[in-house]
Each structure stands twice: as C-alpha cells, then as structure tokens.
Structure 1
Amino acid sequence: MRPLRLLVAVSALTLSACADLLGVKDIVEFTVMEARVACTGIFDQPETCLLVRMRGEESERLFYDEIEGFEFKPGVRQLIRVERIRIQNPPQDGSSYRYRLIEVIARMVASPVP
C-alpha cells in the first residue's frame, strides 16, 4: 500500500511542476470569421490573419497566433472552444499565449457579400 501512495505523491508533484512550466491554462470560446484579412506581422512583414470575435465582445479583432489543431475554412464562420495557455517568459517577438483547439462547436456557411 505504501508504494502506491508514494507513486501518487510523486505523480502529483510531477504534474504540478509541468503545469508551472507551461503556465496558467483557461478555456475560451470565440468565433473565427469566414475570411482572413491583411495584417502586419513580425518585422512589419505583410501577412494574413484570422479575424475573431471573443465571446462577450461586440466587434472582431485581428488574431495573429496559430491554433493547434484548427483548420481555417474560407467562407465558413466557425465557433470554437480552445485551451489558452499562458507562456512563461515568452520571446519578445512572440505571443504570450499558446492556443490548442478543443472542439468546433458550430460551423455556419457565410452568405456572399453583394
């Protein structure tokens, strides 16, 4: 019985140490709009970014980060749930967060612009 308790204690310490290295996690939902838009990336390089609306916000914003496991589909608006992990000591030219797709909640084909 004692070896099992020791294993559980060591496992708990290992998991908490990993959580400290990765940073704080939370779950967020946002809508990814149906088209990418022009934006300026690192070193003022032109690129295209996702346009997203965070849950509870009224307007869209540029989203420069990647979302692990997410596939953008032109013409399709997607409501997604992601895990957002705060990065401890991020690089100066990088994001403070890492994003990982948990699930696509809904997909809506956007109507064409007249």
Structure 2
Amino acid sequence: MRMLLSALVLALVTGCTAAPKPGYVVNVAPQKTHCVGVGPMQCLVVDDQLFYEPIIGFEFEPGFEYKLRIQRIEAFTDGQIPADASRYQYKLLEVLSKTPAASARG
C-alpha cells in the first residue's frame, strides 16, 4: 500500500511540471535573400529555408541571428483563400535570442 501511494505521489509531482509554451521555435538567418513570390522580393531565411511571409511583431535587423518563438495562425477561416495569399499568418510570441552573426563579430 505504501509503495502504491509513493508511486501515485511521484506520478502527480512529475505530471505537474510547467506546460510547454505555445508556438514553435525557429532560427532566422542574419540576412534576407532575394526570392520571388507574387513578384521579386526579399525573404527571411528561417531554418535554412525561404520564408515568404512576414512575422507579425518581428522587426528584423540585418547582421543578427535570431531564435524566435512564433505562432502560426489560420488567416482565412472561411476557406476563401485568395490565389496570391498564404493560408497562414505568423505572429511573434517571443524573441529567445538575438546575437551578432559570426561575420559581424570578427
């Protein structure tokens, strides 16, 4: 009985850890790059891939590498997505780090 009670207490304690934060973490490269969406434009490079959409609330400064927590939001809940629009919007939740790029450091 005592072992069962101990196991139950342990399960409750370990199950009460902080809930994970919403959104997901991405890495942003220190420079934008040329890309073509509806027309020629400059794209962020997020996790080594072109990122065509803006991140709402994020002010990019060239020369810094960023680690961000962002949230993906359904932009058109009525299902009527324009041909030249993305289904999603991205919102900044938190800047986890902002560090000078290796080329800017030295």
The TM-score with structure 1 as length reference comes to 0.65
Cα offset, 1:86, TM superposition: 2.0
Q: Distance in 2 between matches of 1:108 and 1:100?
A: 21
Match of 2:92 among 91, 96, 101: 101
Q: Partner of 1:3 in structure 2?
A: none
Match of 1:32 among 20, 28, 31: 28
> Runs of 4+ in structure 1 displaced over 6 angstroms?
none
> Structure 1, unaligned stretches of length 5 or more?
1-25, 54-59
* Same amino acid, percent of matched pairs: 36
> Structure 2, unaligned stretches of length 5 or more?
1-21
Q: Partner of 1:71 in structure 2?
A: 59
* 1:14-93 correspondence to structure 2 within 5 Å: 27-42=23-38, 45-53=39-47, 60-87=48-75, 88=77, 89=79, 90-93=81-84
Structure ranking higher in helix proportion: 1
Q: Distance in 2 between matches of 1:103 and 1:81?
A: 5
Q: RMSD of aligned C-alpha atoms?
A: 1.8
Q: Distance in 1 between matches of 2:87 and 2:25?
A: 18
**Equivalent residues, number:** 81
The TM-score with structure 2 as length reference comes to 0.70
Q: Which stretch has the larger CA shift, 99-108 or 89-98? A: 89-98
Greater CA radius of gyration, 1 or 2?
A: 2
